Structure 1
Amino acid sequence: MTRDEILKLESYLKKTFRMADIEVRQRPQKDDSAEVYIGDEFIGILFRDDEDPDDTAYQFQMAILDYDLQ
């Protein structure tokens, strides 16, 4: 993902979740995805889906482990 994409996605997530601590970071050696953090805690990955040249979409994937629910 480009730096411009990352900044736009970070701004979108901050507004959507009303959380200023969300940060989107580039992944080492990957250009189709970025990592999402709240503070120092990794929470998920954003993937870019650009198979359709007329429509780019982004998917956010977050795993919730059972011990996190306790």
Structure 2
Amino acid sequence: MTKSEIERVQAYLRRLLGTERISVIPPKQAGMSVEIEAGGEVIGTLHRDAEDGEVSYALHLTILEEDLPPAAQRMLAPTPAAAKRKR
């Protein structure tokens, strides 16, 4: 991707997501992936596709299980079928 494309995609993502914390990082070496950062943390990669004269960009977000907050422990109400079985 060119520098201009990277800047344009970055501006679009910042506007779309409503934050200036998004950065599109050009690869350090040719052939490597363009990375997407949020607040300094790499969250995914960006790929350019040119087919039939049209250009599109695909954003692949990676979310690690270890980065997620703990699951909420909820008490689920028994289903009607389960309530009947208890009788």
**Could you tell me the TM-score, scaled by structure 2's length?**
0.71
Match of 1:41 in 2: 41
% same residue? 33
1:1-70 map, 5 Å: 1-31=1-31, 33-50=33-50, 52-70=51-69
Higher RCO by CA contacts (8 Å cutoff, separation 6 or greater): 1
Equivalenced residue count is 69
Choose between structure 1 and 2: higher strand proportion. 1
Where does structure 1 differ by over 4 angstroms across 4 or more consecutive aligned residues?
A: none
Higher Cα Rg, which structure: 2
What CA deviation, in whole Å up to 9, does each residue of 1:38-58 have, x standing for no partner?
A: 1211111000011x1411110
What CA deviation, in whole Å up to 9, does each residue of 1:2-61 have, x standing for no partner?
A: 0000000000000000011111111122357411111211111000011x1411110000
Q: 1:5–1:33: structure 2 CA closer, same or farther, 3 Å change rule?
A: farther
Instruction: Report deviation, 1:65.
Output: 1.4
The unaligned stretches of length 5 or more in structure 1 are none
Q: CA RMSD in A?
A: 1.6
The unaligned stretches of length 5 or more in structure 2 are 70-87
